[in-house]
Each structure stands twice: as C-alpha cells, then as structure tokens.
Amino acid sequence: MAEVKKIATRESYGNALAELGKDYPDLVVLDADLAAATKTGIFKKAFPDRHIDCGIAECNMVGIAAGLATTGKIPFVSSFAMFAAGRAFEQVRNSVGYPKLNVKIGATHAGISVGEDGASHQCLEDLALMRTIPGMVVMNPSDDVEAKAAVKAALDHVGPVYIRFGRLAVPVINDKPDYKFEIGKGVVLREGKDVTLVATGLEVSETLEAAEKLAADGIDAKVINIHTIKPLDEDLIVAAAKETGKVVTVEEHSVIGGLGSAVCDCLSEKAPTKVLKIGVNDTFGESGPAVELIKKYGLDAEGIYNKVKAFV
Amino acid sequence: MDTLALKKNANEIRKGIITAVHSAKSGHPGGSLSAADILTYLYFEELNIDPKNPKKEDRDRFVLSKGHIAPGFYSTLAQRGFFPVEDLKTLRHTGSYLQGHPDMKHIPGVDMSSGSLGQGGSAAVGMALSAKLDNKDYRVYCLFGDGEIQEGQVWEASMFAGARKLDNLVFIVDNNGLQIDGKIEDVCSPYPIADKFKAFNFHVIEIDAHDFDQIAAAFKEARETKGQPTAIVAKSIKGKGVSFMENQASWHGAAPNDEQYEQAMKDLEEIGKSL
C-alpha cells in the first residue's frame, strides 16, 4: 500500500490564505506573535502589507479585526484555539458576533494533539464556546483538502466564522475528484446499517479506520464526516439515526458542548436515539507526543473500535 | 458653528438625555451629561458625517467605547438629524431600535456596537488601520470613560496604536472622576492618565471638557499631529447641567423619578435661557 500523504491542517490554513490573497484584495490576516506556528507566515511572505502582527494581545486583535470588518476588509484572526476562542471569547461574542461582523477566526493548535505543550495550550472547549454565539459558523475540517475548502467557503460566506485547525499532520482522505465542500453539509464516507459514527476534524480518519476494524467483526458502521458543527446537518444525522438506530460521536474535544452535544441536542428533539459520545471526558490534557496522547485518551482507531464494540 | 450655538445644542442634547432615561426608567445619565459637550462638538463641528447618508464610505468614524452613555450618544445623533428626537422616549423599551447600549445593526449613525467596556478602542484602531492600509484620509475618534481605562484591553489597543503611529486616531477620556463604586482613585486609580498615554507614544492634550474653545483647539491640534495618535484627557463634571446629579456617583446608572425629572428639566431650561 502506498504511503498516505499527511499534512497538518494549520499548514493548509497558511497555504489557503496565501493562495486566496491574490483574488481577494480585501483579505487581511492578523496574528498574535504566532505566525510561524499558525502558518500565517506563508501569507505574510506573499502579502507582507496585509499581514498584521498584533503582538501578544489576542483580545485587542479580535477587536481590531472587528474594526477592519466595519470598513469592508475581510480579516482572518489567527492564534491558538485556546487564545482565539478561550481568552478572547467575550471579544468574539460582543465585538464580532453581536454586530455580526465579517470576521473569520482561524484557530490552530486545537485539542490534545497540541502534544508536548500540555494542558494549558490544549483547547478542548472551543467548539462548545463558539457554537453558543448566535450566527457563528463553526467548522472543523478533517484534512488538507477540507481545510483549504473551508477557508475558501469562509471567505465567501458573509458573517462570522470560526475554523479549527490542528498542529499534527493528518492523513489526506478527501482527495477525490468529486469532493465538494458546502458549509453545513455533512459527508457520508461509508455506508452501514448497524451504527452511525459521526466524526469531526482529525477524528474522521481514525473513525474510518475503526469502521474497517468493526467490519472485520461483522459490525457494519456508517461513517459521517461533520466538518460544520454549526449549522449542523440535522437532516443527515436524523436520517442516519433512524436508519441505524444507534449513534456514536467522535471528536478531539470535551464531551461537553461540542459535536456530541450538538448531535444530542438535535436527536433528543427530532429522533430520540441512544448516543455514545467519544471525546475527552471532562478532564484536562497533559504533555506528551500527540500520537501517544490520542492513543492514551482513547481517540485513536483502536480506542474508538473498543468503545463502539462495547456500545453496540 | 459658533460657541453659543454649540452650547445651545449641548443643552438640548442634555434635555434629550434626561427625557430618554426618565422614559426608560433606567440608564446612565451621569456620564452622558459629562460627555455631552464633547459629543456636541464632535457631531456638530468635527466629524465629516452626513445624517442623510450615515454609511457614507469615507466618513469619519466615532466609536463610543463607554457604551453605557448611549443616552448621550443617541440624543446627539437625534439632535444632529440621524433619527427623530421623539424616538429617544423609546430608549430601552422592548422592540425599540434604541437598545440599552449602542447597536450598529439597527441605529443610524452608530459605527460600532459597544457596551462591554474596553473593547471600543480596539475596533477604532481597526478602523484607523484600515484607512492607513487603503490610503484614505478619514479619521477615527473613540470616547472612553475614566473608569473604563482600568480595562487592560484599552492599553493593548493603545500600545498597537502608538506602535503603528496611527495619527488618524483620537482617543478621548471623559475624566469625570467617578465610577459606580465611587471615586476612580479610591476604586483602582488609573492616574496619572496623561502620563500613561504618553508612555504609549500618544500625543496628549489635557482640557476642560465643558469649554468649547479648549475642545476645538484640542481637536485641531490632534488633526495637525503627525506620526502618532492623540489622546485628549477631558476633565469633566459627572452629571453636568443637572444640579442634583453633579459630581454624584449615585447618578452613574440611575433614572430620575417624575419629580426629579421635572427638576432636571427646569435646571436645563434655566441654563438654556441664560445662554
């Protein structure tokens, strides 16, 4: 088998910004002293005048982006998820969300796959925080192809958008000629009748692998990639729940407030179904190599396989 | 517009503040009254704006960072013709476009939603930065409360503005000396205010917030200042113009009852007659 190409979605973010910069003259990129890590440095190289380093002051950066947006600019605010969604939450809510300004938040280094930096930098709450803001689009792409498509879709969407990117290189799974990205539309990656596995971000490839293992045991799992947490593709999830009778959500995020909660919010109202939420179980992360942490917290294919097997 | 006309407008704006807050049975008269002369000068003299075309592309921008003095802001906008003065009576009422704090989505002339203290300065910086990026010559003004500058974000914005030499930006501090819990120096002193802005590479001008000649001179000096943003520290009287509200922290966020409303309007009528 050929080696699978792996790219971190933060890299895709920087590349997409640089590629789109030419066609979108109003696109400006803001960073808070992390351009090398968030990969907005790639954009800076191409468009130095449109890259604004705000220094280590994320709340101010979000406010500056709001001001820029009132004048017609399309600012992409970039920092680690912990600081973009966590530290600057109230600025995102009041200076961007409430006035519904056309600000895009590119949040990198989300989840425990931050790795060695440890719990202080491993944001497990961003999806929960961002999806409570009225009008906020919340996306969590699964690979390089999807991450680039999400950046383009965010640019074309008028209004606030939050996109979550990762530090860890992840397999490219969407490099198919018929791949289409639409905000709010989930993607069925595998058909199955016994259980529906709904995954987001880097957990999509792990979940696909888990589905293969389950198949070997005679469990036929349907796999849905939810790249947009909000607005959630409720029709797709309700139909899948009715079809398979059991639903499992998989995310590199707290089990409180993220994809799992969004799916439960939807199903409890529209199609009550037993749901197993796989994620980080109301605990902080820790230091360690990303791949080891994903395994330790049961978020690798093996961990997902074991939990789903016990569930069905 | 001559000083007498400015004073008359400011007095009408103060009446609008009292009317709005009385009708709402809540709101913030103290800081609205202290900032009324600055707001008057900005909207009747300084700002390049058009009430008939509030979104005019290259207009000067104003951000009310101390968003709780919405009654002062709205009364000024109404007096300047952005919307009917009668609408001030709908302030804070369910369904009114005149929200408790400025809402740019629904209020003509409001360039930025505000109210959560400390955030307006950053938005103003973004607007000023945008003008620089596009080589446009509009200017940006932002009004803070003196208690508000306890918020750290104000200084993040100031550091950026100073570092980027945003000379199209003016920060104004309404220095009425009082915040909800008492005197600003007793709560958590932000003094010396002028020195702080100087340290952040601002050109700093200190004025009497109720002297139109000083206000005019300060804004002129700000326009002529190149290579750095300007901070105007305006010493004011909280509750200015209403006898029983002056210098009282308790009138920061309280509405007059019917009797107090009559007295306040009488005070302002008398000031009007004396002009």
Q: How far is A58 from chain B (nearest CA, A)?
A: 9
- Weakest mean pLDDT among A175-179, A222-226, B167-171, B174-178: A175-179
Residue with tokens 């009550």: A272
Q: Is the pLDDT of residue B164 over 70?
A: yes
* CATH number corresponding to A6-171: 3.40.50.970
What pLDDT does B9 receive?
98
Interface of A with B (CB under 8 A): 28, 49-50, 52, 54-55, 57, 59-73, 75, 90-91, 94-95, 98-100
Q: Is A58 helix (H, G, I), strand (E, B) or coil?
A: helix
Q: Are B145 and B31 in contact (CB under 8 A)?
A: yes
Report the chain A residue with the minimal C-alpha distance to residue B57: A71
Q: Report residue B64's pLDDT band, with 50, 70 and 90 as the boundaries.
A: very high
Give the HSE-up count for residue A96: Cα atoms under 13 Å, Cβ half-sphere.
37
What pLDDT does A119 receive?
97
Which of B153, B159, B163 lies closest to A63 in CB terms? B153
CB proximity list for A39: less than 8 A, separation 6 or greater: A10, A11, A13, A14, A15, A108
Q: What are the pLDDT digits (tens) for A101-138?
A: 999 999 999 999 999 999 999 999 999 999 999 999 99
What are the phi and psi torsion angles at A98 (to 5°)?
-60, -50
Residue A6's identity, in one-letter code, is K
What pLDDT does B185 receive?
97
Rounded to 5 degrees, what angle do the CA atoms B165, A55, B130 make? 45
Known catalytic residues of A are 58
Q: Would you call B133 and A50 a contact, using CB atoms and an 8 Å cutoff?
A: yes
Asked whether this chain's domains A6-171 and A187-311 adopt the same fold, the reply is yes
User: Can you tell me the mean pLDDT for B78-83?
Assistant: 98
Q: What are the pLDDT digits (tens) for A192-217?
A: 999 999 999 999 999 999 999 999 99
The dihedral sign for the CA sequence A44, A48, A51, A52? positive
Q: What's the mean pLDDT when you consider all of chain B?
A: 98
User: Can you tell me the mean pLDDT for B132-144?
Assistant: 98
d(CA A103, CA B81): 31
Encoded tokens for A246: 């059991």
Name every chain B residue with its beta carbon within 8 A of the beta carbon of A49.
133
Q: CATH class for domain A187-311?
A: alpha beta
Q: What's the mean pLDDT when you consider all of chain A?
A: 97
Dihedral angle over CA of B64, B67, B68, B71, nearest 10 = 50
User: Can you tell me the mean pLDDT for B54-75?
Assistant: 98
Starting at the edge strand that comes first in sequence, how are the strands of the sheet with A246-254 ordered?
A187-190, A221-225, A195-199, A246-254, A274-280
Q: Output the CA–CA distances (angstroms, integers) from residue A172 to A8, A190, A202, in the order listed.
A: 9, 16, 10
Question: Can you name the residues that pair with A106 across neighbouring β-strands?
Answer: A78, A163
Per-domain residue ranges for chain A?
A: 6-171, 187-311
Q: Report residue A4's pLDDT band, with 50, 70 and 90 as the boundaries.
A: confident
The pairing of strands B178-179 and B182-183 is antiparallel
Where residue A24 falls (left for φ over 0; alpha for ψ -120 to 50; beta otherwise) is beta
Q: What are the pLDDT digits (tens) for A285-305?
A: 999 999 999 999 999 999 999
Q: What are the pLDDT digits (tens) for A16-30?
A: 999 999 999 999 999
Give the H or E element holding residue B104: none
What pLDDT does A54 receive?
98
d(CA B166, CA B201): 10
Q: How far is A225 from chain B (nearest CA, A)?
A: 35
Q: What are the pLDDT digits (tens) for B200-252?
A: 999 999 999 999 999 999 999 999 999 999 999 999 999 999 999 999 999 99
d(CA A137, CA A170): 23
Which of B111, B133, B153 lies closest to A60 in CB terms? B153
Encoded tokens for B226: 């190149």
Q: Is the pLDDT of residue B75 over 80?
A: yes
d(CA B111, CA A70): 8
Q: Report residue A2's pLDDT band, with 50, 70 and 90 as the boundaries.
A: low
User: Can you tell me the mean pLDDT for B38-56?
Assistant: 98
Q: At what angle do helices B29-41 and B70-79 cross, to 10 degrees?
A: 40
Question: Can you name the residues that pair with B142 across neighbouring β-strands?
Answer: B63, B171
Q: Are A76 and A150 in contact (CB under 8 A)?
A: no
d(CA A130, CA A174): 25
Interface test with A, best of B58, B62, B127, B141 (most A CBs within 10 A): B127
Q: Output the CA–CA distances (angstroms, integers) from residue B206 to A232, B216, B231, in the order listed.
A: 53, 12, 8
Overall pTM > 0.90: yes
Would you say the ipTM is above 0.90? yes
